Structure 1
């Protein structure tokens, strides 16, 4: 089939782009019979952007868990406890958990009906506005690509815990090669590696939960703790300003921090395009991922507030290794000396798992942008294993930005780039909820009942509205500390990502002048799975 020329499409009108909107899918590594190209060569499939559906439900679960539970969880919870106090901290994480739930169920309905790699930009483009899909997709890709560099740097800092004389540049180079190579292998191998790396993190958290329960019950050298630290130094802390307002500011600051910590759970949607039988695996993966992450985060946070007081000076440490972790501080206070080395080893697996996820997720978002004509068509090409090699290479190249951190001036630039990643996730969450509202309007306009969806969530559209409102609110207020004590540099550092998002959206809108998508004309066919679990026909393909 020939691709039609559309505004903003980097493909030529005469280029062969394959089936189903430029992407063919194969189950278990075999070409789909529906493509009508059984005898196509590897070179042909590379031109057609063929992905192979080799990810099982457990792979999707651990890809999302691996992308969510990182150094921010093991280290960032300490600063959160200082800002808001035990009660404020716990409430913040629980509240953001409800926002994540709204995003996940919205994603679940769309990703099971039209499973596609890099779902977020594709849904925004097809249901809301091409300019929104362009801005969300590129900002989200840039966030993950830059975070890859952060993960490589963090790995070097963590290893320096054991050897301060070790050059971080060597560590960055070694792991960059390792994970770039891994992401060029069949996606099933990637999924297995991610599963085992993520399993170590989950086992560590479960082990800490058991340990903390014992300490709170009186096993440690401080005796029975219970909720002692909720009374002294107190349940809520004042942050930046005194009084009740200061306590609310602390709560809100941690809520912003928690929203960044939860980011990565949406990677279930990124992997949906390579999942086996997405009608079954994606809904199950979304439920397991959400409740798994929610329980791990909330239960761990509750126990941290019970065994570590918010006034502990070690929580304010700016160290990047295990010494700053509340888990280690809890062990030290309980009189256990061996835990720091164990936690540091787990931190290393956490950042390595995150690095693995960064390249995978970034490459699939870049693939989705190319499929929608919003990135060069070369990023659609795959090798014989169904890996988008050019998209992987383009994403992995950003990991080399980690070398900026080796010089003082370069480190400043690097930190500014990393500020983009946090808000990139929030804009993706917001766009997912908005895309779902537009998706529901399109279903209604085209006479498709919601009962035909493979996965139907409750309380819609109110759930999507709830998620959209709070994601936009948090995005707009995430840099509020710059206004409390005005600082121009802090303001731009906090809002550079939002400024970039507006520039991407406005630039695409002014250049191509494409209108918003009409509900009656929204593409609900391309890439859809029918009741038999097979791809539906679209654009003359299958």
Structure 2
């Protein structure tokens, strides 16, 4: 769409208001009413940058890297798994910098689940928000189950139901405390994970250099049994190794899922324009460095054909960190790792309830969920949303019966693919956000944070996230299995049903760029430059004048 130049020095804010829809104006007005309402006070902005980073790390660094990484190496080999985690890391990077632009400009509760309704399509916001909330609510039940299994490693005679109850009560209670208390608790819990992975890196360097029973190892396991593992196909050729690499992508996506949670806290950040870019950037590089280094060192300490990598347990017995220590002759480490795993899942459980409750608040404020989810205490805690999200953790009790366990496993399959769906939706939101900026004559250079490489990185991430989402269930076709097909694609099917159902019932229309709401919820700051006056525009003019 062609944009008419604005005279130098003109204020662009009136232009933004002129393009606002009636819905946007009504929404802005409702914000004022909610501030006056006694039961719908706003969330308090008390989270600091370090809190935002550790909340995201707490929700991301969990069993995916401490335990499931062993399965990834067994499936694709050390080099295949390393490339897969690094590749998915580039997709996460495109998501994070896209999210950073939007979250610093409009830091609101629920963050990216609401951007879809504002910039792209209300039906997209509805379906994305609900499936994302459901995935985190179910993940809470998963973490409670994992916590019980971890304790059972020390005493298998105790029922897992005992520990589900013991851990559910305090983890839920912490989320009813003011957000700064929660942020501080999550900060220290998540710090244990970071220290554990850094400690493993130091340990791995020493063992690889010859401190263990095996002596100097180097890259011996990359030669025998090999750097890449064949998967499914009865061949050792390139096709079988590529299939192994592709199969690990969804596992890597599950491990990275939660990195975007730093954007959920935008509505409770003390100074979002300053803290959000730093928090998002530091969160990504912290998680990426921890994951890639951990996968690399596991790959040089444990051969991919080690049978212990495929036990499927959820305790120290199947952790590749423990297997590496056992191969090196270190006996005391399994108990330490199991204790660390317990803090890992408890920290992740706290983040699950926090993120899920804030997503419910965002859905409610967009009219996609009942209004009572917006109710907050005097100290800014959305207690109704917290209670409803925490109740889903009790689904962990289904593991006490055989039939219930099967249903529970079906629910868990929603989690992995839901992450890729959410990432694709965030990138769509960002592309629509950029389109709206241009339509409303707002330069990207005037944003609090401007990401490099956009919109090309957003298109790159969207393409591969979509491809992985559509192809991740390819094993159901080799050979065909109806049950495996629905297990692999249940989250995508649910997403489509939610989207189509909302579109039919509400008859919602796609948001036009010049009508997108770029005002409500902003941290207002006067913008004096237009697209015509922006540094990027002047730079392009200078280049064109030379050539």
TM-score by length of 2: 0.90
Pairing 1:445-460 to 2, within 5 Å after superposition: 445-460=439-454
Q: Separation in 2 of the partners of 1:406 and 1:511?
A: 39
Q: Separation in 2 of the partners of 1:485 and 1:45?
A: 59
Deviations 1:377-412 (A, max 9, x none): 000110111011111111111111111111000000
Of the three residues 275, 281, 306, the one matched with 1:281 is 275
Q: Separation in 1 of the partners of 2:190 and 2:29?
A: 36
2:39 maps to 1:46: yes
Pairing 1:84-123 to 2, within 5 Å after superposition: 84-123=76-115
Q: Separation in 2 of the partners of 1:396 and 1:17?
A: 31
More helix by share: 2
Aligned twin of 2:362: 368
2:412 maps to 1:418: yes
5+ residue gaps in structure 2? 1-20, 528-547
Q: How much has 1:255 moved relative to structure 2?
A: 1.4
SS of residue matched to 1:529: coil
Of the three residues 31, 39, 43, the one matched with 1:19 is 31
Deviations 1:399-439 (A, max 9, x none): 11111111000000001111111121111100000000000
Q: How much has 1:45 moved relative to structure 2?
A: 3.7
SS of residue matched to 1:273: helix
Q: How much has 1:532 moved relative to structure 2?
A: 7.3
2:244 maps to 1:232: no
Aligned twin of 1:255: 249
Aligned twin of 1:434: 428
Q: Is the Cα–Cα contact under 8 Å of residues 322 and 337 in structure 2 kept in the other structure? A: yes
SS of residue matched to 1:197: helix
Q: Separation in 1 of the partners of 2:412 and 2:526?
A: 44
Of the three residues 481, 484, 501, the one matched with 1:487 is 481
2:383 maps to 1:389: yes
Q: How much has 1:179 moved relative to structure 2?
A: 1.4
Aligned twin of 1:155: 147
2:291 maps to 1:297: yes
Deviations 1:51-101 (A, max 9, x none): 001100000000010111001110011110111111111111111110000
Aligned twin of 1:530: 524
Of the three residues 350, 353, 366, the one matched with 2:347 is 353
Q: Is the Cα–Cα contact under 8 Å of residues 117 and 269 in structure 1 kept in the other structure? A: no
Aligned twin of 1:407: 401
Q: Is the Cα–Cα contact under 8 Å of residues 23 and 371 in structure 1 kept in the other structure? A: no
Question: For structure 1, which segment, 122-131 or 161-170, has the greater mean C-alpha deviation from structure 2 after superposition?
Answer: 161-170
Q: How much has 1:46 moved relative to structure 2?
A: 2.3
Q: Separation in 1 of the partners of 2:38 and 2:459?
A: 41
2:336 maps to 1:342: yes
Q: Is the Cα–Cα contact under 8 Å of residues 101 and 451 in structure 2 kept in the other structure? A: yes
Per the alignment, do residues 129 and 105 of structure 1 end up closer, same or farther by CA in structure 2, a change over 3 Å counting? same
Q: Separation in 1 of the partners of 2:329 and 2:485?
A: 42
Q: Is the Cα–Cα contact under 8 Å of residues 83 and 237 in structure 1 kept in the other structure? A: yes
Q: Separation in 1 of the partners of 2:199 and 2:38?
A: 46
Q: Separation in 1 of the partners of 2:484 and 2:29?
A: 45
Q: Is the Cα–Cα contact under 8 Å of residues 428 and 462 in structure 2 kept in the other structure? A: yes
Q: Separation in 2 of the partners of 1:364 and 1:485?
A: 41
Per the alignment, do residues 239 and 363 of structure 1 end up closer, same or farther by CA in structure 2, a change over 3 Å counting? same
Q: How much has 1:451 moved relative to structure 2?
A: 1.2
Aligned twin of 1:318: 312
Aligned twin of 1:444: 438
Aligned twin of 1:536: none
Aligned twin of 2:8: none
2:457 maps to 1:463: yes
SS of residue matched to 2:303: coil
Q: Is the Cα–Cα contact under 8 Å of residues 250 and 417 in structure 2 kept in the other structure? A: no
| Runs of 4+ deviating beyond 4 Å | 15-18
Aligned twin of 1:176: 168
Q: Is the Cα–Cα contact under 8 Å of residues 123 and 503 in structure 2 kept in the other structure? A: yes
Q: Separation in 2 of the partners of 1:192 and 1:498?
A: 36
SS of residue matched to 2:44: strand
Q: How much has 1:17 moved relative to structure 2?
A: 8.4
Q: Separation in 1 of the partners of 2:496 and 2:182?
A: 34
2:131 maps to 1:139: yes
Aligned twin of 1:206: 198
Q: How much has 1:16 moved relative to structure 2?
A: 12
5+ residue gaps in structure 1? 25-36, 38-43, 534-542
Count the aligned residue pairs: 504
Q: How much has 1:165 moved relative to structure 2?
A: 1.3
SS of residue matched to 1:266: helix
Q: Separation in 1 of the partners of 2:251 and 2:313?
A: 18
What RMSD in Å do the two structures reach over aligned CA positions? Answer: 1.8
TM-score by length of 1: 0.91
Q: How much has 1:284 moved relative to structure 2?
A: 0.2
Q: Separation in 1 of the partners of 2:524 and 2:29?
A: 22
